[in-house]
Amino acid sequence: MKSWGAIIVGAGIIGLALAIELNKQGLRVLVVEKGEPGREASWAAGGMLVDSPAETRRELQELAKASARMYPEFVHELQDESGLKIDLRSQGTLLLSRAETRQSPGGTQQAHDSPLSLAELEPALQELDLQELDLQAGQGDATRFTAQFLQERCVDPRDLTAAAVAAARHRGIDFSSGDHVLDVEVADGKACGVRTNKTRFAAGVVVNCAGAWAGQIGPHPFPTRPVKGQMLCVVMPEKEMVRHVVRAPEVYLIPRSDGRMLIGATSEEAGFDKRVVPETILKLRQ
């Protein structure tokens, strides 16, 4: 049986990045992917590189900060090795939160003053009724938002995964696509390879990077679950009409440098159902 230094199960951004890193350290690496490399969550994502303490669980904050710091160099290396361009934007994010409201003497709700002027930062949004960004608000609700500027980057995940696959191939990393790993094989208490629906591969190291499916691979299943997200992609009337990522409580806008803008995303407990539901997309569009 052919043998590798390391086998990575799953060619999402996690598996690809790890495969490249292990290859740099001199290991012969095989990536086993049940479908096509880079076409699951890592392809569908928005690409916001979030590290703000308000939105990151405390135990993950250090990791999120370190990861966000390393991203420009990571992207630069992938571009160099793949020859492909990756859209990495550093314009920052406007984080909108529902303003605390207080009862005015007249009995109507008022918002505290916004610390930043959204109209100055994103003139295109000044005409927008921000209530539209509040899917929870009912007709006539007077929700106000405060805007906070975050020095955060955002990447186009499709560029990123395509470049990571090309860079990995360029480095001589092997791929076995359309090959479904059923279990990790263990000898003397140590991983020694994988069994797939087609064959077996041997390696001294096996890393399960199978994302939402990771828990399905034996012999030691651990709890993972998929969370479904649907989003809408529109073309802006002019490139850079919206420059910042805009994140409101129920919806976010992610501009891309080619003039597209993503409006996302739902967060649904729908198992592995990947169908796009027209009614949901319409709701995002309104």
Ligand X SMILES: Cc1cc2nc3c(=O)[nH]c(=O)nc-3n(C[C@H](O)[C@H](O)[C@H](O)COP(=O)(O)OP(=O)(O)OC[C@H]3O[C@@H](n4cnc5c(N)ncnc54)[C@H](O)[C@@H]3O)c2cc1C
Binding site for ligand X (CB under 6 A): 9-15, 32-35, 40-42, 44-48, 180-181, 209-213, 217, 229, 231, 264-265
Residue type, 75: V
Cβ neighbours of residue 208 under 8 Å, at least 6 residues apart? 9, 10, 184, 214, 217
Closest to ligand X by CB, 111 vs 270, is 270
Residue type, 161: T
Provide the minimum distance between the beta carbon of 127 and ligand X in the complex, in angstroms, as a whole number: 26
DSSP sequence for 204-246: EEEEE--GGGGGGSBSS-------B---EEEE-SSTTSS-SEE
Provide the minimum distance between the beta carbon of 181 and ligand X in the complex, in angstroms, as a whole number: 4
Closest to ligand X by CB, 130 vs 184, is 184
DSSP sequence for 121-175: H-GGGTTS-GGGG-TTPPTT----EEEEEE---EE-HHHHHHHHHHHHHHTT-EE
Closest to ligand X by CB, 48 vs 95, is 48
Closest to ligand X by CB, 17 vs 144, is 17
Provide the minimum distance between the beta carbon of 14 and ligand X in the complex, in angstroms, as a whole number: 4
Write the Ramachandran bin of 189: left for phi over 0, alpha for psi from -120 to 50, otherwise beta: left
Provide the minimum distance between the beta carbon of 227 and ligand X in the complex, in angstroms, as a whole number: 7
Closest to ligand X by CB, 46 vs 193, is 46
Q: Which residue is nearest to ligand X (CB)?
A: 12
Provide the minimum distance between the beta carbon of 214 and ligand X in the complex, in angstroms, as a whole number: 7
